[in-house]
Structures are given as C-alpha cells and as structure tokens.
A = this chain, B = another copy of it.
Amino acid sequence: MNTPDLTPDAVVADTLALRRIEPAYQQIASQLRALILEGRLPAGSRLPTEDKLCATFGVSRTTVREALRMLSADNLVITTRGATGGTFVTTPDVLAVQQRLQTSLRLLNGSNEISHDELYEARVLLEIPAVRAATRRRTPEGVARLRALAADVEAARTTPDRTTRSEDFHQAIFDIAGNRVIALIAPPIWAALSLSWRERGSAHSWASIDHEHDQIMEHIERGDEDGAARAMLKHLQELRDIRRPEQS
C-alpha cells in the first residue's frame, strides 16, 4: 500500500518519522536548556540537586553530571560545592558572549571560512556608522572621556600597552554611540583580526595615530558627522597599513 519500492526499514523510518537516538546526557541537557531559554528557570534560580535530577530523569548520577557540564560550557549554569552549593542558572554575561564569539571567529578565520580582509572590512562597516551615531549622540561627559582616553594612548610607552589603550578609545566611541549590540560585536572582530596581524608600531606611526585620534575627537565634538566618518576611515586604513606593510 505504502510506497512499495522502498525497503521495509525505510518505510518504517519514513512513515513514523523516526529519529536517530540521542545519548541520555544530551536529552537531559536539551530539556534543561529549553527550560532556561524559555525563562521558566529564571537567572539565579537553583536547579534540583544531582540526586534529585537522577530521580526525576531516571538515570545515574554520571549521566546527569555530563548534562550539567554541557550546560556549564554553554555558560547557562554554574555549579558550586558545599552545603549551600548546587547548580544555578547564570545571569547572561556580555563578556562571555564576546569571548565565545571571538574564538569562533578565530576558528572560522583559521579554516578560511572567513578571510582577513572580511574581518577588516567588517570592522570598518561597524565603526563608520558607530562614529556617526556617536557624533549625533555625543554628550559633554562622553567627549571628556574620549579626551582622557586619547591622552592615555599618547602616554603609553610600550606597544602592547598602546594597543590596549587604543582599543579603549575605540570602545568608548561605541559606548557613546549607544548601541550595545554593535558594542558587543565589534571587539571580538578586532580581536580575531589582531591575532593574525603582526604588531609593527613605530614612534613615527604612533605620532600619526595620535593625530588621527585627535581629529576624530574634534569632529565628534563639533557634531560634524561626515568629518568624523572620514577621519575614522582614514585612521582605520592607517592602522591596517601599519600592521600589514606591502610585501612585494
């Protein structure tokens, strides 16, 4: 009656929509994960003890623990030891999300699924609109903060320190721009980018970078959106050229 040209096995699998069986620990992890994502287990709430989870799921303690380890790797729960210990639903953490995204981008870059040039272009594509938004939404406090950070960059003497301070300066622009989604996504892209860049800072290039920072700040302060965008683009190109000198 039912597609007689298929093998009996295939018919059964197809008509009943059978799925490959999943290990117990994965099923448990999936169920708990769903509860957390649906908000039925709110952040900070405590899961049952491992023994109770064993009872409810009808599995051994090893199985439950493996499921909990998966959730903790997802940054969905943390477990603490001791009398008042247990497994608790974590509050979402921006930093953890950024670190995870960074390693993912790094791996995708390593396997040539995304290229160096795309990372750089993505940075430009994020940072130009961001500096425009920052110009529109600037506040006296924000501008003052930028000035202080630019001074920190100039004061830094070693290359690693300079790099860190410079990233703070750029991050501050994202903060002033006021979009936390963009502010969250941009740093992992920079980080993945700079992992394959060789640092080549010289006293000469540092001076020109300081000058570019100043120009960006001035345009932001004056409310000159186009000028700020132009200055930022020039700055990013300069940063790229410093770190990847032409190799003839």
A119 partner residues in chain B, CB cutoff 8 A = 181
Which chain A residues in 1-53 approach chain B with CB under 8 Å? 25, 29, 37, 39, 43
- Check if B180 sits within 8 Å of A113, measured CB to CB: yes
CB < 8 Å neighbour of A129 from B25, B67, B111, B129: B129
A65 partner residues in chain B, CB cutoff 8 A = 62, 66
Chain A facing B: main interface SS = helix
Closest to A123 in B: B181
Which chain A residues in 102-155 approach chain B with CB under 8 Å? 103-108, 110-111, 113-115, 118-119, 121-122, 125-126, 128-130, 133
A209 at the interface (CB under 8 A from B): no
- Check if B29 sits within 8 Å of A73, measured CB to CB: yes
CB < 8 Å neighbour of A92 from B67, B73, B111: B111
A236 at the interface (CB under 8 A from B): no
Which 8 A-B residue pairings sit nearest by Cβ, starting from the closest? A73-B73, A122-B181, A70-B73, A92-B107, A97-B104, A69-B69, A66-B69, A125-B129
A128 partner residues in chain B, CB cutoff 8 A = 129
CB < 8 Å neighbour of A180 from B114, B129, B179, B181: B114
* Number of copies of chain A assembled together: 2
Closest to A115 in B: B180
A74 at the interface (CB under 8 A from B): yes
Known: A118-B180, A182-B125. A92 touches B70 (CB 8 A): no
- Check if A179 sits within 8 Å of B118, measured CB to CB: yes
A234 at the interface (CB under 8 A from B): no
- Check if B108 sits within 8 Å of A94, measured CB to CB: yes
Task: Other than A62-B62, A69-B73, A70-B70, give 13 A-B pairs with Cβ distance below 8 A.
Answer: A37-B106, A69-B69, A73-B73, A94-B113, A97-B101, A100-B100, A113-B180, A114-B180, A114-B181, A118-B181, A121-B179, A125-B126, A128-B129
